[in-house]
Structure 1
């Protein structure tokens, strides 16, 4: 079911460096920076509030789970974009020589829930997934 307006989510995650987080989320992904302190930095992640907290020992992903033939990082976050936005970001990331954990591709091809997906790590080793659906009504379809 498609909603007219989706409330923004809030996600806090660990990073080893604010400079690296600002370069990755701000410069590479184009997420505007919001408030910050000596311990955290807010970013506008496509209309959602994500907060990088300085905690070097907690950063990074450590386990994977099998999804449609891919080893998906268990701990990850991301956003669902339109197909044109997803394609533009995939091109930008490729041009920036981003090392993908899972290369941009179509998952569940021809099935309910078919989606474009890609996984990569931020500069602190946190896994990020960006996906897109040709039909947003299939986001939660069974």
Structure 2
């Protein structure tokens, strides 16, 4: 099984308070340190920092993967298989609109995974996924 270490990622947001509510109340992230320009969150054991940046008119780019238009860039977490379903249902119940609805990608192939994509209030794309067999995480 792969060794998993916490990562750190910092992302830009144009509305700090709206995104603070999203990550805390919708995704269920515990809030850590903060200032008037940034907020730390525990994103499934990883450090996510939202930083204020003025709004941009830049459009989201996509690449095709498994017949779907995947937003680039994006970030997220690989969840345990059993947790993916309950997390995706929680997001649906909270009214999250999906860019790509939860589904099984590469079904029956190496790298079979459950995946979903959605945007935070600042337009940052998030992907949460799960592998039926975590040993397939880097399978070719």
Q: CA RMSD in A?
A: 1.5
1:94 and 2:92 correspond: yes
Distance 1:117 1:103, change over 3 A: same
Equivalent position to 1:23, from 7, 16, 21: 21
Alpha-carbon distance in 1 for matches of 2:56, 2:43: 21
Equivalent position to 1:69, from 41, 62, 67: 67
2:82 counterpart residue number: 84
Distance 1:136 1:61, change over 3 A: farther
Task: Flag structure 1 segments of 5+ consecutive residues without an equivalent.
Answer: none
Deviation per residue, 1:91-126 (Å, 9 max, x gap): 011111211000000001111000000000001110
Alpha-carbon distance in 1 for matches of 2:45, 2:120: 19
Deviation per residue, 1:46-79 (Å, 9 max, x gap): 0100110001335976100000101000110000
Task: Flag structure 2 segments of 5+ consecutive residues without an equivalent.
Answer: none
- TM-score, scaled relative to structure 1: 0.93
Look up the SS of the partner of 2:95 in the other structure. Answer: coil
2:116 counterpart residue number: 118
Alpha-carbon distance in 2 for matches of 1:57, 1:7: 32
Alpha-carbon distance in 1 for matches of 2:28, 2:82: 16
2:47 counterpart residue number: 49
Look up the SS of the partner of 1:8 in the other structure. Answer: coil
CA contact (8 A) 1:13 1:51 kept: yes
Instruction: Show structure 1 runs of 4+ deviating over 4 A.
Output: 58-61
2:129 counterpart residue number: 131
- TM-score, scaled relative to structure 2: 0.94
